[in-house]
Amino acid sequence: MNKLAVVKIGGNIIEDALALQSFLTDFSQMQGAKILVHGGGKKATAMAKQMDIPVQMVEGRRITDTQNLDIITMLYGGKINKNIVAQLQNLGCNALGLSGADGNAIQAIKRPVKTIDYGFVGDVVGVNADLFQMLLKGEYTPVCCAITHDQKGQLLNTNADTIAATLAQNLSQYFKVSLWYCFEKQGVLENIEDENSLIETINPKKYNKLKKEQVVHSGIIPKIDNCFEALANGVNEVKIGAPKMIAGISQHTTLKLEDE
Amino acid sequence: MNKLAVVKIGGNIIEDALALQSFLTDFSQMQGAKILVHGGGKKATAMAKQMDIPVQMVEGRRITDTQNLDIITMLYGGKINKNIVAQLQNLGCNALGLSGADGNAIQAIKRPVKTIDYGFVGDVVGVNADLFQMLLKGEYTPVCCAITHDQKGQLLNTNADTIAATLAQNLSQYFKVSLWYCFEKQGVLENIEDENSLIETINPKKYNKLKKEQVVHSGIIPKIDNCFEALANGVNEVKIGAPKMIAGISQHTTLKLEDE
């Protein structure tokens, strides 16, 4: 079984041109099949402001109305995605940008309205594995933005962490998959203020203990939940850490399912 | 040799939601391998205005500075491209959006500065035919926006007519290619005010005569020049007309090379 790396980068890298360039250089040098998934960060909010479009937030979450979906499509699917692809091309990596609509890559449904209507937000329901296999076999590197579609003509704003986890999970039928989450910390920390308090490995038992003791903070819990779900569904390993981990020159947290 | 249709639509269709929907329905029903190339129309100018970004025009041509290139990348590569792809997916056509950077699809060089510096404008120098062959063989329908790249990390604003002609030309090594230019008229007209003055066929001899008599107006000359260049380079036929021609229910102008 061939190896595949699914690497997700967040807003903190996207928003810092030098950090992005450094990351893309490292990414271009990763050997073997790979997929990049990127979020968009705070640029969407800044652009909405510039265009005098109101941004509605409920409980810290953006409500994606039509105008904000347009901004996300322009930024994530257009400016950010195409510039990442062009930079990777310059670095000798044959990148190809995708939204979930392209080639029916990632299918979703509009999030059902319970107490809050999040607007045009998608929950992923499927992946076109044939497309990714064809591209990877052709030595293309898919670069996925955090946009999906409902197969009925509607684009949907979607969580990039979830997209990365779903891709990793789905493609683990065909590849030995490593899922890499790059973010602003060295990994999962015992003390969020102390970069030296890195937890090097987490298994489900340890995770429960950390949660019970409230060592892991609320922001990272959905990320870790996604990781364990991916591991339970066939992903070989998940790594969380600073972007430099992909070059093998920084520590990080490895998540795995272990026999106790 | 399998058939391939390369269809180009311009701003007048992009800007009219109903016309676009009607066109995409017809396009989705075209049999066999096909590629869509789209321009962006006047939306970029409107958006620059909304964002307080100045648009510099010289001799009727937009100068593409960094800020305007961003707008073009957001609109053509993001909003317009992804919405066309999502709509085609809904119509059962497995569309996949591409800029020229994606998979190194279309390579260009920044237009050399002679008297005017057009900014980040690209002149096409190459096509990744392997990519298009792979996608078409996989029954995907490439949807190309009018953006190319210089393979050094720079995106470039590029004429959509030229992109369509270059693709048609290049892929005629592998397919029997028809190149379709959809625009706001029924075809090339003897009298631009009279839709009944359609010229049904044009060969090079007739074209020279029309030019000499100043029957064809200046706006359409570069388009026809591109067509004849494409024909000279292996394209089987070129059709110019209203969008409905792709459904076979309207007249149009056919350009061909004939033995006299």
C-alpha distances (whole Å) from A133 to each of A101, A169, B22, B177, B210 are 17, 14, 33, 28, 52
CB contact (8 A) between residue B101 and residue A78: no
Return the residue of A nearest to B77 by Cα: A78
A92 touches chain B (CB under 8 A): no
| Rounded CA separation B199/B190 (Å) | 7
Q: Which helix (H) or strand (E) holds B58?
A: strand B56-58
A21 touches chain B (CB under 8 A): no
Q: What's the gap in Å between the CA of A144 and the closest CA on chain B?
A: 12
A positions 113-142 inside 8 Å of B (CB): 130-131, 134, 138, 140
ipTM (interface predicted TM): 0.94
Size of interface A-B (CB pairs under 8 A): 122
User: Are residues A90 and A102 in contact, defined by beta-carbon separation less than 8 angstroms?
Assistant: no
| Rounded CA separation B1/A98 (Å) | 30
Contacts of A99 in chain B (CB under 8 A): 82, 85, 97
- Domains of chain B plus CATH, in order, are 3-255 (3.40.1160.10)
Torsion of CA A96, A98, A102, A107, to 10 degrees: 140
Token pair recorded at residue B142: 């490439």
| Rounded CA separation A25/B56 (Å) | 35
B85-98: pLDDT as tens digits? 999 999 999 999 99
The pTM of this model reads 0.95
Average pLDDT by stretches of 10, chain A with 260 residues: 96 91 98 95 86 86 92 97 98 98 98 93 97 98 98 97 95 97 89 87 92 82 87 96 92 82
Contacts of B85 in chain A (CB under 8 A): 99, 101-102
B193-238: pLDDT as tens digits? 888 899 999 999 999 999 888 888 777 888 888 899 999 999 999 9
Contacts of A101 in chain B (CB under 8 A): 82, 85-86, 89, 95, 97
A90 touches chain B (CB under 8 A): yes
Contacts of B51 in chain A (CB under 8 A): 50-51
Q: Using CB atoms, which residue from A83, A90, A147 is nearest to B82?
A: A147
Contacts of A73 in chain B (CB under 8 A): 78-79, 82-83
Please state the φ and ψ torsions of residue A142, each to the nearest 5 degrees: -65, 135
User: Are residues B105 and B99 in contact, defined by beta-carbon separation less than 8 angstroms?
Assistant: yes
| Rounded CA separation A88/A35 (Å) | 12
B189-200: pLDDT as tens digits? 888 888 889 999
CB contact (8 A) between residue A138 and residue B130: yes
Q: Using CB atoms, which residue from B86, B134, B140 is nearest to A101?
A: B86
Token pair recorded at residue A227: 């990781």
A258 touches chain B (CB under 8 A): no
DSSP state of A115: S
Where b means 16+ CB within 10 Å and e means fewer, B203-231 reads bbeebeebeeeebbeeebeebbebbbebb
B29-73: pLDDT as tens digits? 999 999 999 988 788 888 998 888 998 888 877 899 999 999 999
CB contact (8 A) between residue B78 and residue A81: yes
Q: Using CB atoms, which residue from A50, A89, A103 is nearest to B149?
A: A89
